Chains A and B, each alone.
Chain A
Amino acid sequence: MVNANEILDSIRPQLRDHSQETRIRDLYERTHTAYETDGRQGIKRELEAGWVDLQKKFDAAIEAVKKDTGLF
């Protein structure tokens, strides 16, 4: 497997800031570990875990806006 630094080096000009680099490094390491354990399913699971969490928060926020505005 390739080193995270190699990946980050190849996209560094496109990165916004150091925090994005840290996040991507973390994401790669997590997904890489998941891939080694469960292959493609591991990546799917790992990516979805973060995304599903965001989606849930997002849906809850929409409901909160609806409730807060008293419209629905």
Chain B
Amino acid sequence: MSEFTLSKLEITGFRGITARCEIALGKPLTIIFGQNRNGKSSITNAVEWCLFGPEVAKISYGDIRERDGWEVQNLNGPTCHVQCEFLTPEGRILTVRRTYKTARTSDFSYEIEGGEKSTDEKKLHALLRISPNDFLSSVHLHPEIVRSLIVARPKERKEAIDRLLGLSELRDMVDAFVSQKPGDWIAALDQKLAVLDARLTTALSDKKRIIDDESMDLMSRGIEKTELTPEGAQRYAVKVLDDLRGFASQYRLTAPAVQPPADFAGIQQFRTQLPTSIQKLRNEHPALADQGKYLIRKSTLEGFRSSHANQIKNVESAKVALTSYPEKRSVEELGAEVSSVKQTLEGIKTDIGDVAKNARVLSEALTFFKDRVPDEQLACPVCGETTHSVDQWQAHIQQEIAARNLEPLAARKQELTEKISTLEQSIEAKKSLLKKATDETAKLIASVKTIEKALGRTISESDDPIAILTAEIDALATTLSSMQEQIAAINLSFSGFQDALLNLDRFQRVGKAQQEMAKIEAINENDTYKGLQALRREADQYAEDAERLIEGLKNTVNKEAQQRLANVQDAISATFKRLTNRPDYPGLEVSLAPEGFVIELTSQSDTTRAVPILNHADINCAALSIFLALAASSQIAHRLGMIILDDPSQSLDIVCKKNLCSLLSDLCGSRQVILATADNELHKFADELPKNKVSYTVRDWTPKGGPLVEVEAAAEVYAV
């Protein structure tokens, strides 16, 4: 064999395997026999995990489900470790090792006997020219993969056959190109161009509307239609400047320093300078200056007049308030009365003190005599009322004093106190009114002074400031009125200049819109736009290149597929014939069609689609035929000179099983065959093959102990 073959496999703690298990595989045929769930698949799967690691668990292919949630590490075993030893075509040992770390990570290394150790997985895959996908479909034949070749969806069948033919990477590359959709790139650019074109169209229509509106406006202001050009605008600007100069000359003002525009573009600057020149003329004009001066004076005097009139009213109002106050006596008279009442009040207070003092003396005297005077009838000296004890007499006397002396005195005191308060309030009110009248009068005097200053003359007491002001204001009004005609004429001129400014704005807008329209209409001559179009062509070219490349890749892959199929077609058909011995359709043909690969049954006179008429066993036979024919073919792209068949005899009858063993026997000449089976008949037929082989039995699996793997027999067959 000129390819890599598997010579030894060491497995520890991988899936169903717990303790270290070493399997020698150096023979052309290895048979691994054991009932289901005894660890056969763990042994065969260990090879792919060792070569590809966690990546194989991620592969979703056809109907294979056994890798969903793959538990790589056996929880009852030591750290998972798999080591494969391959014999290279040069006869050296290639050792590949992998140790489990996590579900997503592992430690990997390989070395070729006598060479350096490497941890570069891609390098190993490149050496063997194989990917995980290819391994699963063209080296390790799972029963599910076999079926997917025939019955799965066209895309999956195509992928399966591509892998068998070693074309999967090319197809993958083509798919990667196609998924980029170069056509869509151009559509996206065209969309942007369409948006730009729409904006240009809208802009054109906007410019046209501006030109129409502004032109209409200018014509309504007496501008001839023929003048609605950049040259016309320039002429208009010159005319405006001439008018300004004429105006300045008429009133002997300084001529505007602004220069006429040299061209249409110059109107912008001219338009900017013009308002300053107009304002300067306005400021310098004597009539306008006089008018301003008179207006200000008139307005000032009117203000004084109004203010003075108000002040006169304020003075009068203060005087009226003073004279109409109910208390007519002067502040001094009121003060004298307050003094008099206060004096009387002091006398009352003295009387009250004296009465209180006498009453106290009398009361003390009666208390003194109380125990010395026997109780008898006692008459009151004031009212004559009799009492029967000193105590009663004493109480009566106190009441009489209070009623006849103290209470009237207290009432009088209250009355005088209130009177003082009233008088004092009147004093304050009169003082305030007097002050107000004084203040307002002072303001009136100040107003007169202000008027005197404004008029520049003295106003005597006999003069009426209002009348004087009115005469002055009237005189100013007369002056202003006499200026009105002249001012109106001047203002009309200035108004005309302001209109001219607005017309210049309109001319500018028209001219600008005309220029922009011309620019848009000549867009194809625009260098930037030309650059954009060039980029569009470049993008077109790039997309076309990509499309062409995709087309070329597809052509090449299909051509390659056809060529490889043609080379194995006879072998496929012959294998099928040997496996099934069908009398109606002995042959099987795989051909390339637009939707993928077509698998048909053939007879000497007829061809028919395979799937509808084949039973389950024949479907397996058809799949096996394709796989085995391709596996035996020199077209196989990878360098692994072995195939692993896991339970290939499902649904096969005894004749087919025998035929399969016969085929495998032939295949052993060019490929190392590793056959895992639970099928007693297949095991028996395989065991009987006169080949160099080794046979293992896998049995008595327990969760903690794993399977018992025993070498059943090793047979050496020598050429005679």
A interface with B by C-beta (< 8 Å): 1-2, 6-8, 10-11, 14-15, 20, 23-24, 27-28, 31-32, 35, 39-40, 43-44, 47-48, 50-51, 54-55, 57-59, 61-62, 64-66, 68-72
Contacts and interface: CB of A to CB of B under 8 A. Distances in A.
Interface of B: 169-170, 172-173, 175-177, 179-180, 182, 185, 188-189, 192-193, 196, 199-200, 203, 516, 519-520, 523, 526, 528-529, 531-532, 535-536, 538-539, 541-542, 544-546, 548-549, 551-553, 555-557, 559-560
Given A31-B177, A54-B535, A69 B519 contact: yes
Given A28-B549, A71-B516, A54 B539 contact: yes
Contacts of B170: 1-2
Q: Is the interface of A mostly helix, strand, loop or mixed?
A: helix
B172 A24 contact: no
A68 B526 contact: yes
Given A24-B545, A71-B516, A58 B526 contact: no
**Best-buried of B170, B532, B552 by chain A (most CB within 10 Å):** B552
Contacts, number: 126
Given A54-B538, A59-B192, A71-B516, A7 B549 contact: yes
Contact of A14 (B185, B193, B520, B551): B551
A48 B548 contact: no
B34 to A, nearest CB: 38
A39 B172 CA distance: 9
B334 to A, nearest CB: 89
B516 A43 contact: no
Contact of B535 (A8, A14, A31, A58): A58
Closest 5 CB pairs of A and B: A10-B555, A7-B552, A40-B176, A61-B532, A43-B176
A61 B706 CA distance: 70
A47 B544 CA distance: 12
A34 to B, nearest CB: 10
Contact of A24 (B180, B526, B531, B552): B552
Contacts of A23: 541, 545
A47 to B, nearest CB: 5
**Best-buried of B196, B532, B544, B545 by chain A (most CB within 10 Å):** B545
A43 B171 CA distance: 13
Contacts of B538: 54
Contacts of A57: 535
Given A55-B189, A59-B192, A66-B196, A71 B203 contact: yes
A47 B546 contact: yes
A70 B516 contact: yes
Contacts of B541: 20, 23
B535 A65 contact: no
Contact of A8 (B177, B179, B526, B552): B552
B556 A6 contact: yes
Nearest to B131: A39
Given A40-B176, A65-B196, A70 B548 contact: no
A13 to B, nearest CB: 11
Given A44-B176, A70-B516, A71-B200, A20 B545 contact: yes
A41 to B, nearest CB: 8
